[in-house]
Every structure is written in C-alpha cells, then in structure tokens.
Structure 1
Amino acid sequence: MRNYKFLLVAFLSLGLFMGCSNDDDNPEPVNQEEVVTTIRVTLTPAVGGTPIIFEKQDLDGDGPDEPVTTVSGDLMASTIYTGSILLLNETVNPPEVVSEEVQEEDEDHQFFFTFSEESGSVVTYADADGNDNPIGLAFVLTTAQAGSETLTVVLKHEPNKSAAGVSEGDITNAGGETDVEATFNFEVVN
C-alpha cells in the first residue's frame, strides 16, 4: 500500500512539474478580429453640395436578418468627391468606432474599391500608413459619365502591400483576410 501512495505522489508531482513549464512565458499576442456591424462611406462633393452616404448595416452578424444597404442619393457625373469610411460595432453601447483601430494598425489594413466593369469612375487613396502604403480610410472618388454603377468596398487584414498593383488598389494579389465587404448600387446623373 505504501508503494502505491508513493507512486501516486510521484505521478502527481510529475504532472505538476510538467504543467509549470516555461513555454508560456512569452505567449504570442492574440489580435482578435473586431466586430463590424456598420460600414459608412461618406462622399462629399469637392465643390459644395450635400454629402452622399453609402451604408451597410448588419446588426445581427451571421444571424437570420439580411444586412440593410442604403445609398442616400445620386452622384453627379464628372465630379470629384472626397471620401471617408467609418466602421462601427453597434453591438455595444455606446457604439465602438472600429475605424480608429484600423488607423492604429494601418500597416495591417487596406481598403480596396472596385467598380462595375462599365464604370469609368476611379478612386485614389488620400492616406498612407507608416511605410507610405495606402490605407483607404480617406480617398478621392472621381465619377465619369452618367449611368448605373456598383461599388464594392473591401477591407483586407494583413494584405501583401508590396505585391504588384496593391498600392494602386488592385485587390488581385493582395492576399490577407477580408474583414469587411460591402457592395453599393448607385446612379451617376448629369
């Protein structure tokens, strides 16, 4: 009986010793993905006028309710708009401004803007990270001719900003993970 107690104590001590290893002294920091319920794109005409808001809101995430996408008005043809993006987490009160974290982690994020094929509209970046690579929280959108258009906005986490075309906004070689994606249908009028 005494040998069994000795073996039991030995096994328990060995388990305790192995459980207290130094492997976790410097654990990798976990960068949790932020919850984004709302993406709001504000387009302000460079020469006066009312800002146009493109917004996608999905308050239940992967829940049963469909996201609500709205466009507050039409864009004018051959017009320059200054653009900005606001990301919100509205599952908490007050809502968390997630775009502030994107700005803080600017080297790990980039927005990409893709128009429908028939569009002549273009986006140029108006902000850059610490390595002079684009972010896309601020941008300039220039419309072309009148017509129906589609704009898809994608936020990539840890894109390869040095890949061919990425700094010009080509998502093809960007890699990384998609944090947010929203597609807006809108009209460009004369």
Structure 2
Amino acid sequence: MDDLEIIDEINLTAGTTYTLTFEIENNLDSPGEDIGEEIAEEDDEHQFFFSFTEDAFSDPTGNGNIDNTSDPVNYADSDDNNNPVGLLTTWTTSSDALSDGTFTVRLQHQPDIKSSSTGANDGDTDFDLTFVLNIQ
C-alpha cells in the first residue's frame, strides 16, 4: 500500500497572484482514480473551504471562509446553481513577509443540502488538510 503524499509547506512570493488548482487521486487501487474528476462531475455536492493566517493575502482579505461562509474567497468555478466549488481559485499574496503561517483546505461533501449559505461544517468532510504557509 502506498502512503498518502502530502507536501506540508507552501512557499509563495509576496505581492504575487496565484491560481490554485487541485490534483486529487486515489492510487490505492489499480488503476488509480481521478477524484478531482469525480468532484467536478458532482460539483453540486462538493465545496472547498479555506482558512489562512489573517492578512496573508491581499485578495482575498481576512482569514478565509471556514469560520464564516460569507467571508471572501476568490472562487473561479461554480456548479449549475451558481454556487462555488473551489477546484479553481485565485489568490494574491500580501506584500508583507510571513513565516510559519497556516493554510487550511477542507472539502465538504454536501449532497442534497449544498446552497449559497451552507458552510464548512455542513455535510461530511472528505478531507481537511493544514499546511505551513510562508510568504517571502
């Protein structure tokens, strides 16, 4: 059995805009399965939520939307009901350096309940990963 491979540190450049995408695979079975494709196909049942060190980013501002669904996150994709998904997001880092901050991504599975107001604690958590965030 292969181990789950997770890079636990994100190193970004200050004052730079990034596009975040996900490559999510299950390679425990052969052949492997593209979980990202499944999430895209079932986008009306999934949403990514984010939390990060306060003011690590100039856009979106704040600390993410895990604690409050209405907090800003720059979702660049949506489901057929125009609700955010999060397989594609944009981020602009602050001009200030940051060492040992945090960046958390949580994927919620929300069949039959996903709406514009469902949050990071609604439905079932598919994964909840926290990374060290450094901005130089």
Same fold (TM over 0.5): yes
Distance of 1:112 and 1:182 partners within structure 2: 11
Distance of 1:187 and 1:176 partners within structure 2: 31
Gaps of 5+ in 2: 61-72
Q: 1:153 is matched with which residue? A: 105
Q: 2:79 is matched with which residue? A: 129
Query: What's the C-alpha RMSD, in Å, of the aligned pairs?
Result: 2.4
Instruction: Work out whether residues 152 and 181 of structure 1, in 8 Å CA contact, stay in contact via their aligned partners in 2.
Output: yes
Relative contact order: is structure 1 or structure 2 higher (C-alpha 8 Å, sep ≥ 6)? Answer: 2
Q: What is the correspondence of 1:1-150 to structure 2 with a 5 Å cutoff?
A: 59=2, 68-70=5-7, 74-117=11-54, 119-120=56-57, 122=60, 123-144=73-94, 145-148=96-99, 149-150=101-102
TM-score w.r.t. structure 1 length? 0.56
Distance of 1:162 and 1:82 partners within structure 2: 23
Moved over 6 A (4+): none
Q: Identity percentage over the alignment?
A: 39
- Residues 1:176 and 2:126 are matched in the alignment: no
Instruction: Work out whether residues 10 and 132 of structure 2, in 8 Å CA contact, stay in contact via their aligned partners in 1.
Output: no
- Give a deviation string over 1:151-186, Cα, whole Å, max 9, x none: 1000000164232xx5xxx63xx5111011111102
**1:150 CA drift (Å):** 0.9
Instruction: Work out whether residues 69 and 184 of structure 1, in 8 Å CA contact, stay in contact via their aligned partners in 2.
Output: no
Looking at secondary structure, tell me which structure has more helix per residue.
1
Instruction: Work out whether residues 57 and 91 of structure 2, in 8 Å CA contact, stay in contact via their aligned partners in 1.
Output: no
TM-score w.r.t. structure 2 length? 0.75
Distance of 1:92 and 1:76 partners within structure 2: 37
The structure that has the greater radius of gyration is 1
Distance of 1:156 and 1:136 partners within structure 2: 11
Q: How many residues align?
A: 119
**1:187 CA drift (Å):** 0.9
Q: Aligned AA for 2:115?
A: K
Gaps of 5+ in 1: 1-57, 61-66
Distance of 1:186 and 1:180 partners within structure 2: 18
